[in-house]
Amino acid sequence: MADEPATLVVPADEIAARVSELGAALSRDYEGRRPLLVAVLVGSLPFLSDLVRAIDIPIEVDFLGLSRFGEGGRIRIALDTAESVEGRHVVIVEDIIDTGLTLTVLRRMLEERGAASVATATLVDKTRRRLVDVPIEYRGFEVGDEYLIGYGLDWKGHYRNLDSLWAVLDMERLVEDPAALHDQFYPTQVERRH
Ligand code: 5GP
């Protein structure tokens, strides 16, 4: 459908296959170390949910909520982990790495808190938009510059529950009306715009 405002980038079955591979790699690399997976809320939740079930060694899961301010990448912890990361082998679980600024701050913070090791698993990597060089040990997919939605990724809180990854073609429309893609993605929904 050429006139649709969003286009499919990664279908659900390809996401599932890749997440299985990442789970197998983590299981192999962290055997005997019971890693602490720290998921960055909210966008990483579908990825986390599938990833943990693809891991076949003992693990623990925790959550971190961040607030971002402006363009400068300044971040603040809005919700801290329940567990201490001291002495733990931490795997940050992220939805998408863009400039890399958030991840850089987060890695430094976890290292300062005494984590035994810190690695990152991200579903999506926008490699070309990187502003800072930051290591990414487990990467699902490399993508271009487009704004992505679905499988956890949102626009103003919408579209997180799509099972595939989509690129927004008409960003202006979405800026004007965050629900502009509801007709494409939720066709049976009787629209109540709020
Ligand atoms: P950065 O790497 O620039 O510090 O920021 C990464 C964050 O920017 C992600 O966690 C996500 O919240 C947001 N982000 C970057 N690119 C996209 C995108 O294409 N789609 C969505 N939904 N969020 C994005």
Q: pLDDT per residue over 89-114, tens digit each?
A: 999 999 999 999 999 999 999 999 99
**Considering the domain boundaries, does residue 156 fall inside one?**
no
**Considering the domain boundaries, does residue 175 fall inside one?**
no
Tokens representing 147? 């704004």
**Considering the domain boundaries, does residue 91 fall inside one?**
yes
Residue 23: give its domain's CATH number: 3.40.50.2020
Residue type, 67: S
Confidence bin at 1 (pLDDT 50/70/90): very low
Ligand 1 midpoint to CA 145 (Å) = 11
Q: Which is the catalytic residue, given 29, 98, 177, 183?
A: 98
**Considering the domain boundaries, does residue 100 fall inside one?**
yes
CA-nearest residue for atom 11, ligand 1, is: 96
The answer, as to whether pTM is greater than 0.75, is yes
Ligand 1 midpoint to CA 66 (Å) = 12
Condensed to tens digits (0 to 9), the pLDDT of residues 152-171 reads 999 999 999 999 999 999 99
**Considering the domain boundaries, does residue 161 fall inside one?**
no
Residues 126, 128, 130: CA angle, nearest 5 degrees: 80
Going across the sheet that includes 89-97, the strands are 74-79, 60-69, 36-40, 89-97, 117-125, 138-142
The binding-site residues of ligand 1, defined as CB within 6 angstroms of any ligand atom, are: 43, 73, 95-103, 126, 147-149, 153-154
What residue numbers bound the domain in which 77 lies? Answer: 12-144
Round the average pLDDT of the chain to a whole number and report it: 93
**Considering the domain boundaries, does residue 163 fall inside one?**
no
Residue type, 57: I
Condensed to tens digits (0 to 9), the pLDDT of residues 65-88 reads 998 876 665 788 999 999 999 999
**Considering the domain boundaries, does residue 88 fall inside one?**
yes
Is 98 labeled as catalytic in the residue annotation?
A: yes
**Considering the domain boundaries, does residue 165 fall inside one?**
no
As for how many domains the chain has, the answer is: 1
